[in-house]
Amino acid sequence: MRFLYQIIRQKIVPYFNKDYTFSHVYKLPQLYRIHGPWNGLPLHTDNQIGRDLAMIVYISRNWKVTDGGKLCLHSSTGDIIEEIAPLFNRAVFFPLGSKSWHSVQP
């Protein structure tokens, strides 16, 4: 995880800071590990003070469609506007805020 944090701090944050102003940059990212059966994450926003950008890195080498886990980005009315499969070595970035609705399929 230290390696990933170094990459984020040294390569990714400076890139986005060129055109995007962070109100805060956490010293350590929030990390979630999903392993085994689960029920997904319902439609929500991550509207928290100090969090402006989400980054998801998928590290499951043998993911199959039947495993679930697609990230869904939604309109303000709740309609799915984009589905992103959790393919190995894929990174997804999206802004956070009161209008950044998203969910994860079971």
Which has the closest alpha carbon to 105: 35, 40, 33, 37? 40
Task: Check whether 77 has a pLDDT greater than 80.
Answer: yes
What is the model's pLDDT at position 25? 45
Amino acid identity of residue 85, one-letter, is A
pTM score over 0.75: no
pLDDT band at 20 (very low <50, low <70, confident <90, very high): very low
Task: Check whether 69 has a pLDDT greater than 70.
Answer: yes
Per residue in 31-59, pLDDT (tens digit) is 566 666 678 888 988 876 667 778 888 88
Report residue 57 as tokens.
Answer: 């890195």
Which has the closest alpha carbon to 76: 105, 102, 50, 42? 102
User: Residue 11 gets which letter from DSSP?
Assistant: I
